[in-house]
Structure 1
Amino acid sequence: MSTEPARLDALGVRGPLRTVRTADVSDVDGSVLARLSVAPALSVKQNLKALRRAQPLPRAGRIAALAAAGELFTGTVDGVTLDEHERLVCRASGVALPVVRAASRAIANSAACAGDAVEKARPVSSAQDWRNVRDEGAVWVRRAEVLAVLAPGNHPGTHTPWLEALALGYRVAVRPSQREPFTPHRLVSALRASGFGDDQVVLLPTDHATAGTLADAADLALVYGGDDIVAKYDTRGDVLVQGPGRSKILLTADDDWRDHVDTIVDSVCGFGGTACVNASAVFVEGDAAAVAQELARRLGEIPVRPPLDEAAVLPAFPLDRAKAIEARLNSELPHAQLISGEDLVVELEGGGAVLRPAVALLDRATAPQARIELPFPCVWVVPWSRSDGTGPLRNTLTLTAFTTDPGLLTELAGDGSISNLHIGDHPTHHMRPGLPHDGHLAEFLMKSKSVLR
């Protein structure tokens, strides 16, 4: 029997595309799981031209095809069962198997709900179709025709937002992460098998240099990445950047934090602690050290298991990557007190490593370390007082606030740099179709225009 890794083809407008150049998709233990075709720049440009020429499916057909694709995604796609797929995703990404399974259900649900989700974003005064305007009024229309998605590989659930672009009639080109291309490959295959033509949605793996070509050649782009990616694209009106979340929790003195420890712990380690909606800082009005000690105790109870274990929660990484993350944290510890245990890296039998949760205590609300977001359950506990104001809480994807102060809540709700405000016992990672994540994606993709008849 051949031991050659499976080939994972690009999915272009003319069907599967097997290229000479490939990239290895590796298990966290270092073994090669698949060889991914890498599309050259010329092929990327040709595919985008074909997407732009294509006409979208009628709206009813798009919504029906999305729902069918969501159902198919949880079945068998290209001969691969859902269980086989989830194990591949787990091995490649290091995300714990139970977390991957939850993400599969979320993807299927998002596909089924995509039509309703985009309707929740449509301005109430704008009609869905110009034929619904009697004399004069506004109509909601696409800003453009082709959306490029430069996707991350940290969590399978990051592939739910761009389904809404298909619901709106965009043709979509997905550039998968070479770390974990299995989820978008399966999703694009399911979409094509459910009614979307090859000229409606494509999967174009590229190298880093050609990724920029993809973003430039598309009409609009949705790009994920760290602060370097934010700096590169943030001033461009045709690119929506999804950067670090820096999600936070606020505990004020008028509410007993001991009643909310379960929610705080869930906010830190839900989704395995790998997502932008996981809490990376907890601001405490009162005894911050006591909060840090309790969080360290509770997070320390999470078992360390290989990612394929049914009881796994924590993410796994190649050993060198795990040590690099630990070194990044240690570089900040002269300015913070590590409350959790010091041996964060746990090597796995057979290769790879799991990172235990980390809790660090800072000495002031303005400490820059509170903005550091690492790809495992790592939380900075920060003392906060009313005199610090809401400045340290700004620039946050999700803020869960435990307070009964209506004035403070009004200020937080009105702060445009805080994308989502959860009041009370709602973990920072709570999401569902129809609720804006970092705003509605449709706010970026659509606009209203006047129609007079």
Structure 2
Amino acid sequence: MLFLDVLGPGGPYRSRRQETVLDLVGDPVAALSLAPPLYVTRAMKALRRAPVMPLDARIAALAEAGRAFATQRVAGQTAQEYQRTVSAATGIPITTVRGATDGIARATEQIHHSVRNARPAGAVGSWRDPLTRGGRAVWTRRGEVFAVHAAGNHPAVHQGWLDAVALGYRVAVRPSRREPFTPHRLVTALREAGFGNDRIALLTTDHHTADDILRHADLAMVYGGADVIRKYAGDPRILPQGPGRSKVLITAETDWEPVLDTLVESVSSGGGVGCVNATGVLVEGDPTPVAAALAERLAALPSLPASEDRAVLPVMPIGPARRWEEGLRQRAAGTRAWLGADGIVDDLGDGSAVLRPAVHQLDSPFAEQLGMFPCAWVAPWDRAAGIRPLRDTLVLTAVTTDADLIDALVAEPTIANVYVGDHPTPWMAPGLPHDGHLAEFLMRTKTVLR
């Protein structure tokens, strides 16, 4: 049993109220302390009082923390033990967890590059810069305390708030109670690298107390589904992070067969659980051959326990897996099933099950199912449909040579990223925006004249 304490301004805090985190077969893995409301209030006030570390010290400490996170014993676990724990508790394939571990380390190594890329080219980072003597835009924080309500679908989501640390924010992370292991390890590593107890906190809470964290923060980022997006859409202090609904578009002047590997990778890479995994494939012309070929390739993926090195599909407790299956069956009524018609649950016989891929063909690019998890929906598309079916997309891979269409896709405000050609939707690189640069939300420019 691990004890995942709250990490507050006074150090680790083991509360009376705890939850037990279970693995996929129902065995206890960790005791998770929950912070009471008064503790949260005091912790947020302590973050506000904490002095800002100098920039160079922050950058160096982040890199040190990333190395420790990926390679050293932190919070009582080696990196390998941590990875096995995450996989056992969440069903994310172990290779995906390892990749996320390395990705977080790379992100901390290149964090200065990342935040510098987000700064306007005409702005400087400090009023002390000599250029301010003639008047200059200075990049400054919009607040001092940043809160994160983190997701638990993938360890790599915790790369998302590291920019705030680099920019000098004091940060409070409320972890997912499904996967608290990654933020607990990362916050511990950051504290040990020099940020201390009063500049970054891990505040595990129930849903009621979670709103207290947001109320005491200047700015916040919140992960969740459509209900979360609706709840916080009108609050300018909160940046909601919803479903990705990533898609692939293949136009008629291109050949789909050479990009079949990219389609498979877009749908299934990393266990298929990320916001950047494609859930919609739109084809100009007849989508039937694409759906058939995609289904054939996805059907060949093995059903294995998440801890095995060859595992590529997510694993869930059998009960939730059956509920996912029933939800998909209802959602897919009236569509043409190429894969998953007989179900998507592959029982491993130990209380857990592999959640297998499904491929369904739609009759229209405007079908409401397009982009919904957990399925690859293949639909026809034509020029008359335009870009409307492609809106509200985190990553769009556009396999096309039509420059006018690319212009329209890049200009569309609700499409966050456009990959032109044979590039899988999960492709990412440090220093490039994911859903915009987080710094666009955290920072502003102001003129300083000396």
Report the TM range for the smaller structure's normalisation.
over 0.9
> Does residue 77 of structure 2 align to residue 77 of structure 1?
no
Q: Secondary structure at the match of 1:20?
A: coil
The percent of aligned pairs where both chains have the same amino acid is: 50
Cα deviation 1:261-284 (Å, max 9, x = unaligned): 000100000111001100000000
Cα deviation 1:116-151 (Å, max 9, x = unaligned): 100000001111010111221110000000011000
Cα deviation 1:63-86 (Å, max 9, x = unaligned): 000000011111211331111000
List aligned pairs for 1:87-102, cutoff 5 A: 87-102=84-99
> Does residue 284 of structure 2 align to residue 285 of structure 1?
yes
Task: Give TM-score, length-normalised by structure 2.
Answer: 0.98
1:301 and 1:290 map into 2 onto residues whose CA distance is 17
Q: Which amino acid aligns with 1:288?
A: P
Q: Secondary structure at the match of 1:130?
A: coil
> Does residue 173 of structure 2 align to residue 177 of structure 1?
no
Q: Match for residue 4 of structure 2?
A: 8
Cα deviation 1:209-262 (Å, max 9, x = unaligned): 111121122111110000000000011100001100100000111000001000
1:344 and 1:395 map into 2 onto residues whose CA distance is 26
List aligned pairs for 1:356-367, cutoff 5 A: 356-367=356-367
Cα deviation 1:68-118 (Å, max 9, x = unaligned): 001111121133111100000001111000000000000111111111100
1:70 and 1:41 map into 2 onto residues whose CA distance is 31
Q: Which amino acid aligns with 1:287?
A: D
4+ residue stretches of structure 1 with deviation over 6 A?
none
2:197 and 2:253 map into 1 onto residues whose CA distance is 57
> Does residue 73 of structure 2 align to residue 86 of structure 1?
no
Q: Match for residue 34 of structure 1?
A: 30
Q: Secondary structure at the match of 2:360?
A: strand
1:115 to 100, 112, 116: 112
Q: Match for residue 230 of structure 2?
A: 231
TM-superposed CA distance for 1:38, in Å, is 0.2
1:410 and 1:343 map into 2 onto residues whose CA distance is 40
List aligned pairs for 1:22-171, cutoff 5 A: 22-74=18-70, 75-132=72-129, 133-171=132-170
1:249 and 1:270 map into 2 onto residues whose CA distance is 14
Q: Which amino acid aligns with 1:371?
A: G
> Does residue 405 of structure 2 align to residue 408 of structure 1?
yes
1:30 and 1:381 map into 2 onto residues whose CA distance is 36
Task: Give TM-score, length-normalised by structure 1.
Answer: 0.97
Q: Which amino acid aligns with 1:30?
A: G
**What is the RMSD computed on CA atoms of the aligned residues?**
0.9
Contact 2:62–2:108 (CA<8 Å) still a contact in 1? yes
| Structure 1: tracts of 5 or more residues without a match | none
Q: Which amino acid aligns with 1:390?
A: I
1:216 and 1:226 map into 2 onto residues whose CA distance is 20
TM-superposed CA distance for 1:387, in Å, is 1.0
Q: Which amino acid aligns with 1:444?
A: F
Q: Match for residue 272 of structure 1?
A: 271
1:348 and 1:149 map into 2 onto residues whose CA distance is 35
> Does residue 294 of structure 2 align to residue 295 of structure 1?
yes
1:439 and 1:335 map into 2 onto residues whose CA distance is 37
Number of matched residues?
Answer: 446
2:174 and 2:38 map into 1 onto residues whose CA distance is 15
